[in-house]
């Protein structure tokens, strides 16, 4: 995908390019995935813990990943989704199975614009690979929010409030939330809060890339 080499095997990225990807390997807070020394819970999570219990991110949201995730076409997406799901299952710790894998839902309006939801494709492949149930119907996005990249975190969190609806009963369940990019974590926080109100006891975020402030 990134060069002319044809030796990627099952992956869409060749071994050389894979080495050069912006892997998220620095010491990070286990709860939110942001940089933190000795993998300790960060001050922000201690002060106001997010609704999810842990975050795993493959990459930092930097070049060429940002371009890869932004400029894909449907055909390419399936290829990228396969690569990312393989790398996620190979890299993320998995001590106990999940009862449900829930992809970040898109608002129907956004879905109509894009034609597909990349997080659903990744979640579907993770579910197949890990043999854990995919549930892409339990949660829906009921609030349309314009892109909020430029807004401060507090405003984003406020804007996201009440954005999701969950139809299922998730009593005591371990839930994996799947998203392509985690920026501030405001949407994952709100989705996690929604599945926890539906009864989930443990919620993990599995994301392809995490935006890390420099
Ligand atoms: Zn390459
Ligand atoms: Zn944290």
Averages of pLDDT over runs of 10 residues in the chain (214 residues) are: 76 88 94 94 95 97 87 70 94 95 94 88 96 96 80 84 95 97 93 98 97 83
pLDDT for the residue numbered 153: 78
Cα 28 to averaged position of ligand 1 atoms, centre (Å): 28
Q: What is the pLDDT of residue 8?
A: 66
* CA 30–ligand 2 middle distance (angstroms): 7
Tokens standing for residue 23: 């892997």
Whole-number pLDDT of residue 68: 84
If you measure from the C-alpha of residue 150 to the centroid of ligand 1, how many angstroms do you get, rounded to a whole number?
33
Q: How far is the CA of 32 from the centre of ligand 2 (A)?
A: 4
Q: Separation of 56 CA from ligand 1 center, angstroms?
A: 25
Q: What is the 3-state secondary structure (H, E, C) of 85-96?
A: HHHHHHHCCCCC
The alpha carbon of 132 and the centre of ligand 2 are apart by a number of angstroms equal to 27
- Residue list, CB under 5 A from ion ligand 1: 2-3, 5, 14, 17
Q: Which ligand has the minimum distance to the alpha carbon of residue 19?
A: 1
Which of 141, 182, 179 is CA-nearest to residue 162? 141
Cα of 16 from ligand 1 centre, angstroms:
6
Distance CA(174)–CA(124), nearest Å, equals: 17
User: Separation of 80 CA from ligand 1 center, angstroms?
Assistant: 14
pLDDT score for 72:
67
Q: Where are the domains of the chain?
A: 15-210
CA distances from residue 32 to 80, 134, 188, 189 in whole angstroms, order as listed: 24, 23, 10, 10
Per-residue pLDDT, 154: 82
Contact at 8 Å (CB) between 184 and 35?
Answer: no
Report whether 10 contacts 86 (CB < 8 A).
Answer: yes
Report the separation in Å between the CA atom of 100 and the middle of ligand 1, taken as the mean of its atom positions: 34
pTM for this prediction: 0.94
> In the structure encoding, which two tokens stand for residue 161, read together?
């409030």
Q: What is the per-residue pLDDT for 5?
A: 79
> If you measure from the C-alpha of residue 89 to the centroid of ligand 1, how many angstroms do you get, rounded to a whole number?
21
How much distance in Å is there from the Cα of 15 to the middle of ligand 1?
A: 7
Q: How far is the CA of 22 from the centre of ligand 1 (A)?
A: 14
Domain 15-210 class, CATH top level? alpha beta
């Amino acid at each position: 995908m990134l060069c002319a080499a044809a030796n990627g095997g099952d992956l869409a990225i060749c071994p050389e390019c894979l080495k050069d990807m912006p892997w998220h390997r620095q010491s990070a807070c286990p709860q939110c995935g942001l940089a933190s020394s000795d993998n300790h819970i960060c001050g922000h999570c201690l002060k106001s813990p997010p609704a999810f219990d842990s975050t795993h991110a493959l990459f930092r949201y930097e070049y060429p990943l940002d371009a890869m995730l932004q400029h894909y076409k449907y055909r390419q997406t399936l290829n990228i989704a396969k690569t990312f799901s393989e790398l996620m299952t190979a890299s993320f710790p998995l001590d106990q199975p999940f009862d449900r894998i829930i992809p970040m839902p898109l608002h129907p309006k956004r879905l109509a614009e894009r034609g597909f939801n990349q997080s659903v494709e990744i979640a579907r492949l993770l579910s197949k690979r890990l043999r854990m149930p995919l549930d892409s119907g339990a949660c829906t996005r009921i609030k349309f929010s314009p892109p909020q990249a430029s807004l401060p975190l507090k405003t984003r969190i406020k804007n996201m409030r009440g954005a999701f609806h969950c139809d299922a009963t998730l009593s005591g369940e371990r839930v994996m939330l799947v998203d392509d990019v985690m920026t501030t974590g405001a949407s994952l926080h709100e989705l996690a809060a929604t599945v926890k109100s539906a009864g989930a006891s443990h919620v993990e975020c599995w994301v392809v890339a995490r935006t890390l402030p420099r």
